[in-house]
């Protein structure tokens, strides 16, 4: 199988992508939104009497001209919706009124403020902490589950290594989108919110499902190898397992990607970066389940055999 024969090249590609992502994360970091750093959330709806609703670009320009920082504007609802959610750094009452005046373009586009709430920096940090904990707990749960599910597979690779290599692949799948958004934050001002955390959790579930399918096929081949007293090398078994599941993995990923691409281009502004994070994560996850996780099993067996011969 191509993925096994040339696994060193795929290791190099993965290592490069992860290294670049980590550099971006450490140098620039992810630009946190109001949900995590604290600030103000305001929901406004333009009145039906307003014949033309300003574009989001016009709204953004009007608000930033007031001197407010950390501004992001997202449309909620359908295409014809007149409701927008505005996130900014903390506003006092006078600044709030100034922003409302700017959004109404001095009364030319009347609007109503549906909601105005402030998120303190302590609550923002708490949300960030809980988000990180939730991701770590999911990864630990996946490690425990795979180790338990493959507990009867002890040769030639120990069951706990299946869990370990799945976690390595999952780390690959979340570091790359995180690094991608660090770059977007630096050069495009893109901020991450709780939807980004949701995307990461979905990516973890999607990726581990693909990986388990391949691992399960490896387990079945190992059982048959023992049952029928065959003597297939482990790398051949893993290669056959990948070949038998690769079409399913790619087809499933493509189906999901088509939906996400459509959501990115024609969906509401509120889910634009959620879908983008999902697109990057699913591409990384599909790649890792085919070219990384299973190949690591072969490499582990190679080093085990080499150690035995010494």
CATH class for the region spanning 39-119: alpha beta
Per-residue pLDDT reduced to its tens digit, 59-79: 989 999 999 888 888 887 777
With a pLDDT cut of 90, the percent of the chain lying above it is 33
Q: What is the DSSP letter of 192?
A: B
pLDDT at 23: 97
Nearest to 261 by CA among 281, 277, 275: 275
Record the tokens describing residue 105, joined without a space.
Answer: 């373009």
Structural contact between residues 100 and 51, judged by C-beta atoms closer than 8 angstroms: no
Residue with tokens 């890792």: 288
Phi, psi of 186 (to 5 degrees): -70, -45
Per-residue pLDDT reduced to its tens digit, 146-197: 888 887 776 688 888 888 999 999 999 999 999 999 999 998 888 888 889 8
pLDDT at 165: 92
Question: Considering the domain 2-33+123-309 in this protein, what is its CATH number?
Answer: 1.20.1640.10
The boundaries of every CATH 3.30.70.3400 domain in the chain are 39-119
Structural contact between residues 304 and 156, judged by C-beta atoms closer than 8 angstroms: yes
Nearest to 211 by CA among 284, 285, 302, 280: 285
Per-residue pLDDT reduced to its tens digit, 79-128: 778 888 888 888 888 888 999 999 988 788 888 999 888 877 666 678 77
Nearest to 21 by CA among 221, 175, 171: 175
Q: Can you tell me the distance from the alpha carbon of 280 to that of 277, in angstroms, rounded to the nearest whole number?
A: 5
pLDDT of residue 301 exceeding 80, the answer is yes
Residue with tokens 């955390």: 197
The boundaries of every CATH 1.20.1640.10 domain in the chain are 2-33+123-309
Cα Rg for the chain, rounded, in angstroms?
A: 24
Per-residue pLDDT reduced to its tens digit, 25-58: 999 999 888 778 878 889 999 988 776 788 888 8
Record the tokens describing residue 82, joined without a space.
Answer: 């007149």
Record the tokens describing residue 143, joined without a space.
Answer: 């490690």
């Amino acid at each position: 199988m191509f993925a096994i024969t040339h696994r060193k090249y795929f290791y190099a590609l993965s290592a490069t992508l992860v290294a670049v992502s980590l550099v971006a994360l450490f140098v620039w970091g992810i630009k946190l939104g109001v949900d995590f750093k604290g600030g103000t959330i305001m929901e406004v709806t333009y009145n039906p009497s307003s014949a033309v609703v300003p574009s989001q670009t016009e709204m953004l320009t009007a608000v930033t001209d007031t001197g407010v920082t950390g501004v992001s504007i997202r449309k909620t609802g359908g295409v014809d919706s007149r409701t927008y959610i505005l996130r900014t750094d903390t506003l006092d009452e006078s600044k709030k009124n100034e922003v409302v005046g700017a959004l109404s373009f001095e009364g030319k586009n009347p609007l109503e403020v549906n909601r105005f709430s402030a998120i303190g920096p302590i609550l923002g940090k708490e949300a960030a902490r809980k988000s990180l904990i939730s991701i770590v707990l999911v990864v630990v749960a996946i490690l425990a589950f795979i180790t338990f599910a493959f507990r009867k597979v002890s040769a030639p690779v120990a069951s706990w290594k299946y869990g370990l290599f799945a976690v390595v692949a999952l780390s690959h799948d979340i570091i790359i989108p995180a690094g991608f958004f660090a770059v977007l934050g630096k050069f495009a001002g893109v901020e991450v919110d709780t939807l980004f955390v949701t995307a990461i959790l979905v990516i973890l579930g999607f990726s581990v499902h693909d990986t388990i399918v391949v691992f399960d096929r490896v387990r079945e081949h190992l059982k048959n190898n023992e049952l029928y007293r065959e003597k297939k090398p482990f790398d051949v078994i893993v290669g056959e397992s990948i070949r038998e599941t690769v079409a399913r993995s790619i087809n499933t990923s493509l189906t999901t990607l088509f939906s996400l691409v459509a959501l990115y281009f024609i969906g509401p502004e509120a889910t634009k970066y959620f879908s983008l994070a999902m697109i990057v994560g699913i591409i990384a996850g599909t790649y890792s389940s085919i070219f990384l996780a299973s190949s690591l099993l072969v490499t582990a067996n190679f080093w085990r055999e080499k150690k035995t011969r010494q």
